[in-house]
Amino acid sequence: MLIMYYFFSLLIFLIFILIGVAFFTLLERKILGYIQIR
């Protein structure tokens, strides 16, 4: 039971990291595009 809980918490943590990285990459590209336009 404890192993399952640990596995799910780790999985959720990894998903949050992936979402954070994807969002940061999108934001960075928007900022770089905005700088290049000006």
**Summary count for the chain: helices (H), strands (E):** 1, 0
- pTM listed for this prediction: 0.63
Instruction: Say what the pLDDT of residue 20 is.
Output: 98
Instruction: Say what the pLDDT of residue 5 is.
Output: 95
Distance CA 1, CA 23 (A): 33
22-to-10, 12, 14, 30 alpha-carbon distances in Å: 18, 15, 12, 12
Instruction: Say what the pLDDT of residue 1 is.
Output: 84
User: Taken in order 7, 9, 12, 16, is the CA torsion positive or negative?
Assistant: negative
Instruction: Say what the pLDDT of residue 2 is.
Output: 93
Per-residue confidence in pLDDT tens, the chain, 38 aa: 899 999 999 999 999 999 999 999 999 999 999 888 77
